[in-house]
Amino acid sequence: MLLRANQLTKDYGSFRALDQLDLEIAPGEIFGLLGPNGSGKSTALRLLMGFMRPTAGSASIAGHDCWHDSVRARRNVGYLPGELRLYENMTGRQLVRFLGQLHGQDGTERVDRLAQVFDIDISRPIANLSSGMKRKVALLQVLLPQTPVLILDEPTNTLDPTMRDVLMKQLVEARNRGQAVLFSSHVLTEVERVCDRVGILQRGRLVHLQKLAELHEVRRIRATFAEPSEAMPNLPGVDGAVRNGREWTCEYDGPLPEMLAWLVAHKVEDLRIEPLGLAGIYHQYHGAEA
């Protein structure tokens, strides 16, 4: 595993910001960390970067302890913080080149190509750039070195929809090169699109781990029948079935032809079949009722 956290914990006085986080991320994997503000996402990422001493537990990147051997650990990481603090007296090109050289890479040819992909003029002083443009410059310095691990805190913040799509494509390409990607996000659709696994944090605890491939196999079915009935399908894979008169809903991960045959036999008038998606799981922990 390129990245490991073992019972990683951080206290601020009597407040526990992160509580015994266990996490492993393999090469060629994108992992999404979900949760509202205050759930512990940024604390977890800062501990992995070695910016804070953990109260308990440990973390490592590429075999190097994130606190005790933090310099070697960070050599293997491209990091994007949630709040940017850039050297605004530099141009974008100067900053990217300077930070790339710290990783032992120049990347002169690739920087122009990637700047074109992100539609940014890196010859301009950073002080003259908008917040979205500054975010793009920061993304260039994260993506260019092609480090084994990428850690990004809310990477699409301030980006327009087109640039969000561009970034998601870049993260998929990083995974295909064998890099491990860890990012936090509030945008469930982005996470669903690119992540292999996700974890949901609640009050500093990792309360749910989910493989996206498994989630994509589950469908939510909503049907309206011609007349009221209490009939239920006797099929494996049906979960949470509820019938109220003519209306019927369930979650289903079995063969679709068998379910469709049952629905047709019971005179369905209207039908909606959709992937279960992350929203239902996420709102179990962070919805209004939760």
Residue-wise pLDDT tens digits, 228-273: 888 888 899 998 889 888 999 998 988 999 999 999 898 899 999 9
Instruction: Please enumerate in sequence order all residues whose Cβ is within 8 A of that of 167, keeping only pairs 6 or more positions apart, or say none.
Output: 139, 155, 156, 159
CATH code of the region 3-213: 3.40.50.300
Residue 56's SS3 state is strand
CATH code of the region 217-286: 3.30.70
Kindly give the interhelix angle for 92-102 and 131-143, rounded to the nearest 10 degrees: 30
Average pLDDT, the chain: 92
Mean pLDDT of 102-125: 86
In the block, tokens 């979205």 appear at 132
What is the domain partition of the chain in residue ranges?
Answer: 3-213, 217-286
Instruction: Please enumerate in sequence order all residues whose Cβ is within 8 A of that of 86, keeping only pairs 6 or more positions apart, or say none.
Output: 95, 126, 134, 137, 138
Give me the pLDDT at residue 276, please: 79
Q: How confident is the model at residue 279 (pLDDT cuts 50, 70, 90)?
A: confident
Give the pTM.
0.86
Largest separation between any pair of C-alpha atoms in the chain: 72
Mean pLDDT of 71-83: 94
- Classify the C-alpha dihedral 70-36-191-82 as positive or negative: negative
Could you give phi then psi for residue 278, rounded to 5 degrees?
A: -75, -25
Tokens for 212? 């996206």
- Residue 105 is given by DSSP the state -
In the block, tokens 């982005």 appear at 190
Question: Alpha helices of 36-160 — where are they, by DSSP H?
Answer: 41-48, 70-74, 92-102, 108-117, 131-143
Give me the pLDDT at residue 108, please: 66
Quote the CA–CA distance of 179 and 181 in Å, as a whole number: 6
Contact 188, 277 (CB under 8 A): yes
Mean pLDDT of 276-290: 78
Please say if the pLDDT value at position 53 is more than 70.
yes
